[in-house]
């Protein structure tokens, strides 16, 4: 049986690589000298005669610059591709410095060890995720990709970029500032104006805009309704509602719960009470909440509102607020805003109301939260004490506008 023995041919050609490395180094040094003494135009013509692009020329310039002061004979054992790698960017600057400081001929194994030691040790994963990349002055914020089923974040950012001509970075910065302002209490969210999807995203449980106080609901309601009646002594229905709640609460505390399901009849003066006027044994029953909501609807000032709600617990405030219709809720919010503005105006300051005209730049004081970034507006038309503002379809009351100084 005949066996053919193969003789590797690469072993005979291996030593020619030394000549290749030497030729690359010699040519790179010569190219550096030409670049130094030739004008930019003449050097460009020279490299174009080689048929090379700028990137190729730059790679040879890097080699000639890095190893210009070292004897070529010391570097001939370095594999040619490695020369281009370690001079391609500053990442391998330590490798080049190690070669320059080495004594004797440089081998490929020595260079590979320098490369390995120059690699950065992987930073162990942190317990807390971070959005920072880089260190010191080069540190920058990198937000990971956002994948959502409804794609809300992406579509909102893209819509703002298209309509307002701002960058995604600015949108994120504004969003971060608004979130911090909200956490600090500088921004008030009007729950009734928020669409359901925003409530879900923000995790906001809508709460009636009343102050909070601890205390027994049963006792507090009796006090609240009595005080509310004093505010509206000219309103017969309000007085009656107040007396009904007080009498019912007193009846509960004295006699306990009735055995017939909580329904009994009683009269205040000569006016009989219906079954739905009766208060159950629950600390705050639906009937009581309805009466409180009715009293709130009759209030004319924010002071009356706070007097009624000041001693209510949180669930009762929310329940009574949700029984009010949209118009009543908007009216109460208006009372609160008017009261707040009056509190911030010094008593000795009297300002003359400016006349608003078409073309004026104005601030809409009661602007909806999701449109607040559109302020200021331009008045396009005024008719019957209502102003048509740019970008808005619905006219707004002139009294809600303030001139931009």
- For 196-207, the pLDDT digits (tens) are 788 788 776 544
**87 within 8 A of 103, measured Cβ to Cβ:** no
Structure tokens at 160: 């703002």
What confidence score (pLDDT) does residue 248 get?
46
Reference 247, options 287, 304, 305; nearest CA is: 287
Tokens of 2: 């005949």
pLDDT confidence bin for 57, thresholds 50/70/90: very high
Give the burial class of 112: count Cβ atoms within 10 A of its Cβ; 0-12 exposed, 13-18 middle, 19 or more buried: middle
Neighbours of 312 (CB within 10 A): 25
Residues 6+ apart with CB under 8 A from 187: 178, 181, 369
Residues 231 and 333 occupy one common structural domain: yes
φ/ψ of residue 46, rounded to 5: -60, -50
Same structural domain, 318 and 396: no
Give domain status of residue 261, yes or no: yes
The number of angstroms, rounded, from the C-alpha of 233 to the middle of its chain's C-alpha atoms is 49
In this predicted structure, what is the pLDDT of residue 82?
Answer: 92
CA torsion, ordered 376, 380, 381, 386, to nearest 10 deg: -20
Closest CA to 229 of 307, 160, 287, 162: 307
The answer to whether residues 260 and 166 belong to one domain is: no
| Residue 30 maps to a domain | yes
Residue 337 clears pLDDT 70, i.e. is over it: yes
**Amino acid 166: pLDDT:** 92
In this prediction, residue 125 carries a pLDDT of 62
Same domain, 179 and 288: no
88, part of any domain: yes
Domain of residue 173, residue span: 127-187
CB 322, CB 205: distance < 8 Å: no
- Do 302 and 339 contact (CB within 8 A), yes or no? yes
- Rounded to 5 degrees, φ, ψ at 230 are -65, -30
Same domain, 36 and 114: yes
The runs of H, that is alpha helices, within 93-191 are 93-101, 108-118, 152-164, 168-183
Same-domain check for residues 263 and 157: no
> 365 with 313, same domain?
no
Percent above pLDDT 90 for the chain: 19
Which residue bears the tokens 């009261």? 339
Q: Per the domain annotation, does 353 fall within a domain?
A: no
The closest alpha carbon to 263, from 216, 252, 319, 316, belongs to: 252
* H or E element, residue 386: strand 386-389
pLDDT tens column, 324-336: 888 888 888 888 8
Instruction: Compute the chain's Rg from CA coordinates.
Output: 41
User: Are residues 227 and 336 located together in one domain of the fold?
Assistant: yes
Asked if residue 201 is part of any domain, the answer here is no
Going 319 to 322 to 327 to 329, the CA torsion angle's sign is positive
pLDDT of residue 11: 67
Count how many domains the chain has: 4
Query: Residue 277 and residue 262: Cα distance in Å, rounded?
Result: 11
Mean pLDDT taken over the chain:
75
Q: Is residue 325 assigned to a domain? A: yes
User: 193 or 241: which carries more pLDDT confidence?
Assistant: 193
Give the per-residue pLDDT at 344.
60
d(CA 106, CA 18): 12
Verify that 237 and 269 share a domain, yes or no.
yes
Residue where a domain stops, chosen among 73, 97, 118 = 118
Same domain as 165, residue 136:
yes
Q: Are residues 395 and 300 in the same domain?
A: no
List strand residue ranges (DSSP E) for 202-291, in order: 267-268, 271-272
Distance of alpha carbon 234 from alpha carbon 34, whole angstroms: 103
Last residue of a domain, one of 74, 96, 118: 118
* Terminal Cα distance for the chain, rounded: 106
The CB density around residue 296, as the number of other CB atoms within 10 Å, is: 24
Q: Which residues contact 277 (CB under 8 A, 6 or more apart)?
A: 244, 248, 287
For residue 95, tell me if it sits in a domain.
yes
pTM: 0.35
Write down the pLDDT at residue 311: 67
Helix (H, G, I), strand (E, B) or coil at 381: strand
Which three-class secondary structure state does DSSP give residue 380? strand
Kindly state the tokens that stand for 379.
């008045």
**Is 275 within a domain?**
yes
Same domain as 311, residue 372: no
């Amino acid at each position: 049986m005949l066996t053919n023995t193969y003789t590797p041919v690469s072993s005979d050609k291996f030593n020619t690589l030394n000549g290749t490395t030497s030729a690359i180094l010699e040519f790179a040094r010569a190219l550096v000298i030409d670049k130094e003494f030739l004008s930019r135009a003449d050097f460009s013509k020279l490299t174009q005669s080689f048929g090379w692009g700028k990137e190729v020329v730059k790679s040879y310039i890097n080699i000639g610059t890095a190893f210009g002061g070292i004897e070529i004979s010391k570097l001939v054992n370095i594999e040619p591709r490695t020369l281009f790698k370690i001079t391609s960017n500053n990442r391998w600057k330590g490798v080049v410095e190690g070669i320059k400081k080495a004594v004797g001929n440089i081998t490929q194994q020595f260079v590979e060890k320098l490369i390995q030691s120059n690699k950065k040790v992987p930073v162990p994963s942190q317990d807390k995720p971070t959005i920072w990349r880089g260190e010191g002055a080069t540190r920058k914020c990198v937000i990971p990709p956002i994948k959502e089923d409804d794609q809300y974040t992406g579509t909102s950012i893209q819509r703002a970029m298209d309509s307002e001509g701002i960058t995604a970075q600015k949108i994120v910065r504004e969003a971060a500032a608004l979130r911090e302002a909200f956490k600090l209490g500088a921004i008030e969210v009007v729950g009734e104006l928020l669409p359901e999807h925003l409530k879900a995203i923000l995790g906001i449980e809508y709460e009636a805009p009343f102050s909070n106080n601890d205390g027994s609901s049963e006792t507090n309601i009796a006090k609240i309704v009595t005080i509310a009646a004093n505010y509206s002594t000219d309103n017969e229905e309000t007085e009656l509602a107040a007396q009904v709640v007080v009498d019912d609460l007193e009846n509960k505390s004295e006699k306990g719960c009735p055995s017939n399901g909580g329904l009994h009849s009683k009269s205040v003066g000569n006016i009989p009470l219906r079954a739905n006027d009766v208060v159950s044994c629950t600390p705050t029953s639906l009937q009581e909440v309805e009466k409180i909501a009715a009293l709130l609807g009759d209030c004319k000032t924010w002071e009356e509102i706070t007097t009624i709600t000041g001693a209510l617990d949180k669930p009762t405030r929310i329940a009574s607020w949700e029984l009010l219709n949209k118009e009543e809720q908007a009216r109460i919010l208006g009372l609160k805003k008017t009261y707040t503005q009056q509190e911030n105006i010094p008593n000795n300051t009297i300002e003359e109301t400016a006349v608003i005209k078409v073309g004026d730049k104005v601030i809409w004081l009661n602007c909806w939260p999701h449109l607040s970034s559109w302020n200021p507006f331009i008045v396009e038309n005024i008719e019957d004490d209502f102003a048509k503002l740019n970008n808005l379809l619905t006219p707004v009351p002139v009294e809600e506008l303030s001139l931009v100084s």
